């Protein structure tokens, strides 16, 4: 079983979008027994004690429009102990990549990559928190996820 952790800043927009889109892609490909995934944040700003924020409403609406539910998902922070649990840490941008490597330390740093690298690109996934362009983020994420599905 290949285990993938999607990582973004707050775990309310890009990484949960990637998590739930990828779960849907894996299911449609009939590979549920081969690949599993989750998502987390490098920041704790969307987490208060044990309560993380839910998926940001425009992301939830986009996923719902595709027939994908993210109900119950709450923001969680990446932990050093995750280094032992996951095979890949797929980060949305350069800042997330640096943060994930810092959190995971030597045990997990070599498992970290940017999502668009799986699509043969060097760029970052557009951040809809700042751009308000959720469709652009979706398109970036989808390209990267298609690359992951081909490579694992």
Catalytic amino acids? 8, 14, 127
The CA-based angle 115-116-118, given to 5 degrees, is: 80
- Which segments of 29-93 does DSSP mark as H helices, in order? 57-65
Q: Where are the beta strands (DSSP E) in the chain?
A: 2-8, 35-41, 47-48, 51-52, 88-91, 112-114
Q: Tell me the backbone φ, ψ of residue 49, rounded to 5 degrees.
A: 65, -120
- Render 44-61 in DSSP notation, one character per residue: -TTEETTEEPBPPHHHHH
Cβ atoms within 10 Å of 52's Cβ, excluding its own: 20
């Amino acid at each position: 079983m290949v285990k993938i952790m999607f990582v973004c800043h707050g775990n309310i927009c890009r990484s949960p979008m990637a998590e739930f889109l990828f779960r849907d892609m894996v299911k449609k490909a009939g590979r549920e027994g081969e690949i599993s995934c989750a998502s987390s944040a490098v920041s704790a700003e969307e987490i208060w004690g044990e309560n993380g924020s839910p998926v940001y409403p425009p992301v939830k609406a986009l996923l719902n429009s595709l027939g994908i539910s993210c109900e119950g998902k709450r923001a969680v922070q990446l932990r050093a102990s995750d280094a032992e649990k996951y095979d890949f840490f797929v980060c949305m941008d350069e800042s997330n990549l640096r943060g994930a490597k810092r959190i995971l330390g030597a045990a997990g740093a070599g498992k970290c990559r940017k999502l668009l690298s799986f699509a043969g690109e060097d760029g970052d996934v557009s951040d809809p928190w700042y751009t308000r362009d959720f469709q652009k983020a979706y398109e970036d994420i989808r390209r990267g996820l298609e690359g992951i599905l081909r490579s694992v």
